[in-house]
Structure formats: structure tokens, C-alpha cells
Chains A and B, each alone.
Chain A
């Protein structure tokens, strides 16, 4: 799957994502990408989150809602993303990745899967990576 989160100059947040699912999936299978609170969420008062990975595990963990709730309790986005992925891995043996921006402009970017290509753009910067530690 592919996804994007954004915060514009007026402080509005938005998230978009799209996926072809899993190779060999049963016809009719829907993943987390179409479900608010599982694959994605956006609330100008808190921030915006976009998840990717094992769709079934992300749905069962309600991963986006879990991360948004942590950020609304004052958690930093990076830590909230990491803790959400740890929960999914330890509780459901599920792997994936998350990108997030909080309403105050904090960044969260984490993944427990093997690799996740990402890129982060502001007015004067462009960062990108694919391995852990990039």
C-alpha cells in the first residue's frame, strides 16, 4: 500500500492511502486501508496518522485510533507510533509501519517490518529513507 499525511499552512490535516491488498488474497477481502480508525485517521485538534502492513492485524489492533488516542493524551507522535507497532507485534504478531503528523507539527515515522520507503517534505527540506535508522 501507499499513503500520505499532510499539515498545511492553515493548520489543517489530511490523510490519503491506497492499496492493491495482498498477493493471493481471497476475492472480496478488504484490508485496513478503507477503514477509518484502523488504517488512517485525521483530526485537526490532534493530528493525522496513516498505517501500512498486515491489514488484518492493523484492523484487529485498531492501530490508527490507538495512536491518535496516545497523541491526544500528550504523547509525542514518534513514541505513539512506536508503541502502537509494538502492541501489534507483541499482541497479534503483526508487522507494519506508520507515518504521523501532530497538530503542532510533530513528526512520527516508524516501522517494524523489514523495510518501508518514506519521504518527508517541507518548504525547504526533503528527507527520505527505506532502512531502519535512515
Chain B
């Protein structure tokens, strides 16, 4: 069989100015993965090496440079699977592992499980020779900038949600009588359309018919086309 290896670095809104850096990163990962595969004659080692190269690249949203969760922490998932025995290993929600793919590989090779998550996965990785790192070591400027941008977006929505609540909520505002659900959802939709045009496609009347719906929409992270 002709040996081959393909890598990707995520599908999302990559800004123009970073395209060349991303291309350099995937080229390096493909080369290091392919060389590892030819040396060890194993596809498993090839994919692990390729992903490790990308986890160590601070530009990519995995390992060092991972996206920050709502608490401002890096929380990673990783997995590996081989086609001969169809064995798989995965870790989820780990914060103290520099290369989560190595922890996933250990789950596949040294445990009877497929998926370990959270503290258990971190302890398993530490027991198998992956030293725990402080979460702050995994945070990069770029991820922090994205996180702050996301926070501002969420805060602006929450502030406007409370402004809407003051204005339209019958309890807070007695003159706004208990109008029918239909009229209220139209008003709410109008409110979102004027204040959050980019949200209004999601705030369709079927979706936003109560304050809880609006709160739910406002509290979900800014899915501005960002992906995993």
C-alpha cells in the first residue's frame, strides 16, 4: 500500500493575516507525522506525531493555545483510534496535560477503557509519566484575545437582556400589561433585530417567545461561526 498521511488544523473563520502561518504549521505537521510513520512503520505513531506537532504550535486551538472556556481556562479533548484492532483511546476536559493526544494514546494502550474525562484523566496521565502542567502555561495571547472578545460580546448581550427585561417585563413595568405571548414575542424579536441584527436570524418567533428563551440565547457562547 502507498503510505499517506493527511492533517487538518480546524475549519473556521481563519483571518487572512494568519493563513500563511497556518499553512506552514500544517506542512510541518504532515512532514513530521509522515517521517514518524515511515520510521516506526505504524500509522498510529504517524498520526500521534502529527497531532503532537500541532498541539505544540501555539497558533492552533489544541494543547498549548487551546480555546479558553467561560472561566478562562484551557480545557482539552483528544482521541486516537487504529483500524486493525479498532481500539480507541480518548481524554476529555483535561486542564493539566500539555499533549492530550499522548494521554489519549495511553488510554488506548494502557487501559481497558476508551474515554477518560476530567480529574480522572489527569491523574491517569500523571501516573503514566505525563507530568502535570499549570493551566496558565497553556494559555497564549491569541487565545486570551479571543476570550476577551467573546466576554465583551456576552456581556453586551446580558446587559441588553436586562435592559429589555426592565422595559418589557410586566412585573418590572406595570404599564406594560400582560399582553398576549404573540405580541410580546413580536416586540422581543423587534428588540433583538434592532439591537442584535446578527442574532435575529436565530431569534425567530418560534424560538424566542419568553424571557427564558432570550436568556438562553444570550447565555450560549458567542457562536460567531467559531468552531471547535
A interface residues (Cβ-Cβ under 8 A, vs B): 1-36, 39-48, 50, 52-55, 58, 95-97, 99, 101, 103, 105, 107, 109, 111-123, 126, 128-130
Contact = CB atoms under 8 A, between A and B. Distances in A.
16 contacts: A2-B60, A4-B50, A12-B83, A14-B47, A20-B65, A23-B146, A24-B150, A33-B90, A34-B92, A95-B225, A105-B1, A113-B13, A114-B12, A117-B19, A120-B5, A122-B5
Contacts of A116: 8-11
A22 B227 contact: yes
B91 to A, nearest CB: 7
A9 B42 CA distance: 8
A83 B185 CA distance: 37
Nearest to B63: A18
Nearest to A55: B228
B226 A22 contact: yes
Given A121-B6, A126-B27, 13 more contacts: A2-B55, A12-B43, A16-B78, A16-B81, A18-B100, A19-B77, A21-B66, A22-B228, A23-B143, A27-B75, A115-B11, A121-B30, A128-B30
B34 interface: yes
A48 to B, nearest CB: 6
A55 B38 CA distance: 32
A12 to B, nearest CB: 5
B101 A16 contact: yes
Contact of A14 (B29, B43, B65): B43
B23 interface: yes
Interface centre among B4, B8, B93 (most CB of A within 10 A): B8
B10 A10 contact: no
Given A1-B62, A14-B47, A55-B228, A40 B82 contact: no
A8 B43 contact: yes
Contact of A119 (B7, B67, B76, B221): B7
A45 B86 CA distance: 10
Q: Give the top 6 A-B pairs by smallest Cβ distance, nearest first.
A: A20-B66, A97-B11, A13-B83, A24-B221, A113-B11, A119-B30
B23 A8 contact: no
B227 A4 contact: no
A122 B2 contact: yes
Contact of A20 (B37, B83, B104, B143): B143
Nearest to B202: A93
Contacts of A58: 228
A31 B82 CA distance: 20
Contacts of A8: 1, 3, 37, 41-43, 46
A12 B19 CA distance: 32
Contact of B43 (A13, A39, A126): A13
A7 B146 CA distance: 36
A20 B78 CA distance: 9
Contacts of A115: 11-14, 19
B26 interface: yes
Given A16-B80, A20-B74, A4 B51 contact: yes
Contacts of A55: 227-228
Contacts of A121: 4-6, 30-31, 33-34
A116 B228 CA distance: 12
